[in-house]
Structure 1
Amino acid sequence: MPSQAEALYLEALQDYRDNKSSDAVVKLRRAVEIAPGLEDAYEALSVVLYNQNQYDDAIAVIGKWIAVNKDSAMAQTNLSRCYAAKGMIAEAEHAQTEARRLSWKADLKGKRATLPKIDHDERISRFKQVIEFDPADVLGYYSLATAYQDAGMLREAMETFLKAVEVDSEHTSSYLGLGMSLETLGDSQKAAGIYEKGIKIAEKKGDILPLKKMEARLRILKNNTKS
């Protein structure tokens, strides 16, 4: 049974789907008052306020979210969108850079850590909910694709990584994920093409970690073709 804060969060999602944005905002604000650590509620509240063009209020909410979790890449991504909407380009670029840094940090930490058993169904359901709430959220698609990948659902992972690069054609980590998914599914030729495209974008953006990984995968594919 969900807690009071979680129940308010779920009710707010339904209100938003029913075009009752004001009711959703009230419930989400109450949810984070009751449970200041409920990050999903901060995420939802910032998106609702952003979609209402209440950018300053959204930025304030994201500030509280970051105070709860300074390592949230999603918070920095949402912050970047708000700054961009206000025309604060330098601040938007800084927040986006921080989002990429935190994503890489989480990726490296995940590879070093010994993780407990993962509830794949719960992760997949949670990220589907994020996408349903904001279909333009590239990190939602990327996270869902990664969850599919971890669960061994390779076809679903490939299709979701593909959707991620459709939503954001410069999200280099999704190009890496898409290429690796295609490799696993046996389509090395398409994977090589995806890596080549992703490498060009990563070079332009200065996304070093995805760049190095894609270059390494592409070299392996080319060497395998020669042998």
Structure 2
Amino acid sequence: MVEEATFDFTLGDNDEALRKLRRAQEMAPGCFEAWHAMTEVYVSMKDYDHALEAATRAFELRPEDIHINTSLSRIWMHKGDKQMAEHFGAKARTLGWKEELNSEPEEDSGLA
């Protein structure tokens, strides 16, 4: 269902995407992907209040997800709260660094 909604969103059918995402949330309220996708649809529509509601729910489900922290930073910046935007932006950067440190080292290309 989330994949179908994402497809609708990419085709510019935000209403259909939101309808499918709401249905997905009714069927599985703990579906992080549905909440995060809804966040991005609302951000694209510049509906930052609804985007914040969806992002907050996604964050409650996965507070250590780099993508939702990045989304929250963007939303707060659009809403004019620089302090909150910086808070979530810093958290996203920290999560990115952790991910980088925990990943397998890349093979040396000899170009460094």
Instruction: Give the TM-score category using the shorter length.
Output: 0.7 to 0.9
Give the one of 40, 45, 50 matched to 1:52.
45
Provide TM-score, normalisation by structure 1. Answer: 0.44
AA at the equivalent of 1:184: D
Q: Whose helix proportion is higher, 1 or 2? A: 1
- Structure 2 stretches of 5 or more lacking a match? none
Give SS of 1:184's match.
coil
Question: Percent same amino acid among aligned pairs?
Answer: 32
Larger relative contact order, structure 1 or 2 (CA cutoff 8 Å, min sep 6) = 2
Corresponding position: 1:39 with 2:32: yes
Q: Shift in Å at residue 63 of structure 1?
A: 0.8
Cα separation, 2, equivalents of 1:33 and 1:9: 12
Runs of 4+ aligned residues of structure 1 deviating over 6 Å after TM superposition are none
Alignment match, 2:59: 66
Alignment match, 1:80: 73
Count how many residue pairs are aligned between Structure 1 and Structure 2: 112
Give the one of 84, 90, 105 matched to 1:91.
84
Q: Which has the larger radius of gyration?
A: 1
Give SS of 1:47's match.
helix
Give the one of 75, 94, 106 matched to 1:101.
94
Alignment match, 1:187: 111
Q: Shift in Å at residue 105 of structure 1?
A: 4.2
Provide TM-score, normalisation by structure 2. Answer: 0.84
Cα separation, 2, equivalents of 1:24 and 1:33: 14
CA contact (8 A) 1:36 1:68 kept: no
Q: Shift in Å at residue 91 of structure 1?
A: 1.2
